[in-house]
Amino acid sequence: MSNIVSGGAASDKVTISALNNLLNPAYTPAKLTSLHGRKVGYEASRLLRTSMSEAFNEGDRLSNKANPGVHGEVWLTAAGCCDACDAKDGKDVTEVGYPPEHPNCRCTTLAKVESIEDFTKNWIDFMNNPNKYPDYRNWMENYYKAA
């Protein structure tokens, strides 16, 4: 988990070894794959890629949730992912959920961001009437001042 949190490489020998031991210490991987020029067990590398994708997408979701200029997210399918993910491409995550959908899923989300002009107009209006824009007030009180 520390390698995932720190953004370490999916081919890190220590992490791959730990995952192989966690999955089944007596198991010798029948299938090897090349990851960043190294031969690693396919199951461990798949688990690591999927966990890193989950961590990235969760960070992205939390960031978008805190940003007052973001008004939702849509599913963004990775090129050549799969048919299940292709069907979700461009749909609101409130309808289809958040990626990853399956192991090795490389899909992510795309934030629906208001235009600079709208944000500027709303921000000026917020400065004159803070109660009219609770999202902006929440951001100002909990994120901006905290930084």
pLDDT band at 121; cut points 50, 70, 90: very high
| pTM of the predicted structure, to 2 decimals | 0.66
Burial of 142 (0-12, 13-18, 19+ CB in 10 A): exposed
The answer to whether residue 126 is domain-embedded is: no
* C-alpha distances out from residue 131 to 7, 33, 40, 125, 138, Å: 39, 56, 55, 10, 10
Domain span at 71: 2-113
Residue type, 6: S
The answer to whether residue 65 is domain-embedded is: yes
The answer to whether residue 139 is domain-embedded is: no
The answer to whether residue 122 is domain-embedded is: no
The answer to whether residue 57 is domain-embedded is: yes
pLDDT band at 116; cut points 50, 70, 90: very high
Direct distance between the N- and C-terminal alpha carbons of the chain, in angstroms, rounded to an integer:
27
Say yes or no to pLDDT of 139 above 80.
yes
How many CB atoms are closer than 10 A to CB 138?
Answer: 12
Q: pLDDT tens digit string along 50-102?
A: 888 899 999 999 999 989 999 999 999 988 888 889 999 999 999 999 999 88
The answer to whether residue 129 is domain-embedded is: no
* pLDDT at res. 45: 76
The answer to whether residue 41 is domain-embedded is: yes
The answer to whether residue 101 is domain-embedded is: yes
How many structural domains does the chain have?
A: 1
